Amino acid sequence: MSLADRLAAARLAQYPPDAAGTGGVRDSAGRDVTGRDVTGRSSGPLAEVRRQVHHDLLEAVGPELYDARLSQADLEQRVRQSLQGVLAPGSVPPLTAADRARLEEEIADDILGYGPIEPYLRDAEVTEIMVNGPGRIFVERGGLLYPVDGRFADEQHLRRTIDKIVGRVGRRVDEASPMVDARLPDGSRVNAIIPPLAVDGSLLTIRKFSAVPLTTDDLVTFGTLTRQVADFLAACVRGRLNILVSGGTGAGKTTTLNVLSSYIPANERVVTVEDAAELQLYQEHVLRLESRPPNIEGRGEVRIRDLVRNALRMRPDRIVVGEIRDAAALDMLQAMNTGHDGSICTVHANSPRDVLSRVETMVMMSGMDLPITAIREQISSALDLVVHQARFQDGSRRITHVTEVAGMEGQVISTQDLFVFDHRGGFDAHGRALGSLCSTGLRPTFSPQLAALGIALDPSLFGFGRYGD
């Protein structure tokens, strides 16, 4: 039995697993944390050896790690060679072959990759990695959070890893700029914030995106929407309706935006505007723009709003905006109202009703002294549809409302729900929601507008599985 196995067995004896398999904290594979660490990262005495070897190796390879002339393959070979030397018999306590192999793997991950989070970056099932200081790492799998046993050796180790991540994309994090957003070469989104802003140690959040973006079929399989609603939304996109995708943080807005954008006909010129280029569109004629934060002297910022304005001068057929969060809303509404219909964007909001008041507030932030009725009129004439999404307790992401923005009734914007998630299906034994997205029986008032473009909506869309039946 290897040292790590013996440690795991001791841990198991100390905390017997929950017999019912419920309650208790689970690890990333859904097992009790008292079970063996899925990553097999060393702990206890082995961790001490690891720290020592890590330190000795850094001494041995030192500056070569930063030598830009060395290719990744050369560097890897160099590190593995030195590792053999540092792990030579006599220089560390005797190790079993299994412990030794594991130690080599972990240290290579630390030095060449991103340390204890490396296995999760490689694990396609993990969608988010959250490092809460050096001693605590959580991952998201299937929409739920799980703590994992991996840990950084100390705050310096975590900081070095953060530096490595953000340094590779030309950003940095230090006293002067203690918060940073970056994107990994594979498209994953990274946020890091360090002390003193982060009170208990550096915090790192990585949102992973699958190399192959989720498609309509995936979303239908996951129960995010039904095939009928997908067909309806595809017709709305082809019919150049202006659509807002709304929802809370991590509700899957960007993913849905990507799927909706895939319905844009291939012969149209699409300009995408984002804070971090996350959208992955397959059309040929796509122009991607990304905003830029200010530099250390506070200069050079390019906001979403500036890019939206610039996009209007690029002869776009469509403008797709990753997220509207400030006065850019006014520019977007104006674009929608001045012939750039068929635009799609996302907004953070808790409900479809909330979306409209959020947009109202954002327009007010532009500093233009517009009367509230004028703002509402702009909103109601610009927007056609709100697609609202939520992350459920069971971790699934579902569209809960497809709501038409129908016009003004007096001073109020009138809306009507076309499809609503019917919660009456309840939950199965594992707590998974059984309901689905149903038609309310109401037909959209924009049907004639779509018909004029030769897009007929199948009347049965609004009959089957009616909400309330």
Ligand X SMILES: Nc1ncnc2c1ncn2[C@@H]1O[C@H](COP(=O)(O)OP(=O)(O)OP(=O)(O)O)[C@@H](O)[C@H]1O
State the residues that interact with ligand X by CB under 6 A.
127-128, 207-208, 219, 222, 224, 247, 249-255, 397
Structure tokens belonging to residue 235:
């017709």
Q: CB of 349: closest distance to ligand X in angstroms?
A: 11
CA dist 29 and 238 (Å) reads 41
Q: Would you say 214 or 379 has its CB closer to ligand X? A: 214
Q: Does 291 sit near Mg ion (CB under 5 A)? A: no
Amino acid at 238: R
Q: CB of 323: closest distance to Mg ion in angstroms?
A: 6
Q: CB of 211: closest distance to ligand X in angstroms?
A: 11
* Binding partner at 119 among ligand X, Mg ion, none, C-beta below 5 to 8 Å by kind: none
CA angle 301, 304, 310 (to 5 degrees): 95
Q: Would you say 253 or 305 has its CB closer to ligand X? A: 253
Residue 226, CA distances (Å) to 100, 295, 304, 323, 329 in order: 51, 45, 32, 25, 30
User: Which of 2, 42, 228, 254 is the binder for Mg ion (CB under 5 A)?
Assistant: 254
Q: Which residues pair with 409 in a beta bridge?
A: 412
Give the binding-site size for Mg ion (rule: CB under 5 A). Answer: 1
* Binding partner at 127 among ligand X, Mg ion, none, C-beta below 5 to 8 Å by kind: ligand X
CB atoms within 10 A of CB 286: 18
Q: Would you say 219 or 383 has its CB closer to ligand X? A: 219
Q: CB of 437: closest distance to Mg ion in angstroms?
A: 21
Q: 31's torsion region: left (phi>0), alpha (psi -120 to 50) or beta?
A: beta
Q: Would you say 127 or 242 has its CB closer to ligand X? A: 127
Q: CB of 4: closest distance to ligand X in angstroms?
A: 31
- 8 A C-beta contact, residue 99 and residue 2: yes
Q: Would you say 50 or 253 has its CB closer to ligand X? A: 253
The single residue listed with the structure tokens 């080599």 is: 104
* Binding partner at 384 among Mg ion, ligand X, none, C-beta below 5 to 8 Å by kind: none
- 8 A C-beta contact, residue 270 and residue 264: yes
Q: Would you say 376 or 401 has its CB closer to ligand X? A: 401
* Binding partner at 280 among Mg ion, ligand X, none, C-beta below 5 to 8 Å by kind: none
Residue 404, CA distances (Å) to 78, 234, 401, 436 in order: 61, 15, 10, 19
- 8 A C-beta contact, residue 457 and residue 450: yes
Q: CB of 221: closest distance to Mg ion in angstroms?
A: 21
Q: Which residues pair with 408 in a beta bridge?
A: 413
Q: Would you say 115 or 247 has its CB closer to ligand X? A: 247
Q: CB of 403: closest distance to ligand X in angstroms?
A: 17
How many angstroms separate the first and last alpha carbons of the chain? Answer: 61
* Binding partner at 249 among Mg ion, ligand X, none, C-beta below 5 to 8 Å by kind: ligand X
Chain contacts with Mg ion (rule: CB under 5 A): 254
